[in-house]
Amino acid sequence: NFMLTQPHSVSESPGKTVTISCTRSSGSIASNYVQWYQQRPGSAPTTVIYEDNQRPSGVPDRFSGSIDSSSNSASLTISGLKTEDEADYYCQSYDSSNVVFGGGTKLTVL
Amino acid sequence: QVQLVESGGGLVKPGGSLRLSCAASGFTFSDYYMSWIRQAPGKGLEWVSYISSSGSTIYYADSVKGRFTISRDNAKNSLYLQMNSLRAEDTAVYYCARGPLRFLFDPWGQGTLVTVSS
């Protein structure tokens, strides 16, 4: 089994851009899709990015996803930060039948 | 709209059992894989189990294998999780989620809290 490692926390000011990384410990990041979920306090997770870089309808285009094979990592970038973006963000991928979530990153918009 | 509503959580003693249910509506339940995902208090997300649309294919995380059983009743649009030999480390909010569909879980229910304590 592999692990997905995320920074514990990041913070940035409103209007700025922040990038959250998700590094895969073994196996290629490109071999299985990566999803990103947003979880606000007291709420269930919701999808902000699926299949590496696809945005569900209703998710603003300020959210974007990418993968980088050289660092074996995926990234979630949020531009034009708003206070409402303050939440926990989780990456998720899989390997055959096994599903793996990253440990989560707390985004503070201050 | 798609809705998932979990029930059955509560306080149980170590070694005890509990059965969670998830009522689905707003989509053709029998067309989709379904999953259970949990979150310990103040911790991250942990996948528990998923079941194929027909129920013929099932996978579990190693942490619950042999103790938990996932099942579904397509006639009742319901998903279940039978949890036996519960441990303190099973304490978590348990979410029902549609999928994986291309390994995406979406949407999720609001969750039900299971507390394992003496």
| Nearest CA distance, B79 vs chain A (angstrom) | 18
Residues in A touching B108 (Cβ below 8 Å): 44-46
Q: Given CA atoms A46, B1, B49, A56 in this order, what sign does their dihedral have? A: negative
Alpha-carbon distances, residue B68 vs A26, A104, B2, B18, B62 (angstroms) = 28, 25, 26, 10, 10
The 3-class secondary structure across A20-52, one letter per residue, is EEEEECCCCHHHCCCEEEEECCCCCCEEEEECC
Q: What is the pLDDT of residue A96?
A: 85
Question: Mean pLDDT lowest for which of A20-24, B6-10, B79-83, B97-101?
Answer: B97-101
Tens of pLDDT along A27-67?
A: 999 999 999 999 999 999 999 999 999 999 999 999 999 99
Question: Mean pLDDT lowest for which of A66-75, A95-104, B34-43?
Answer: A95-104
Average pLDDT over residues A64-87: 98
Contact B103 A35 (CB under 8 A): yes
Tens of pLDDT along B61-105?
A: 999 999 999 999 999 999 999 999 999 999 999 999 999 988 899
Q: What is the pLDDT of residue A91?
A: 98
Q: What is the pLDDT of residue A53?
A: 97
Contact B107 A104 (CB under 8 A): no
Q: With a cut of 90, say whether residue A97 has pLDDT above it.
A: no
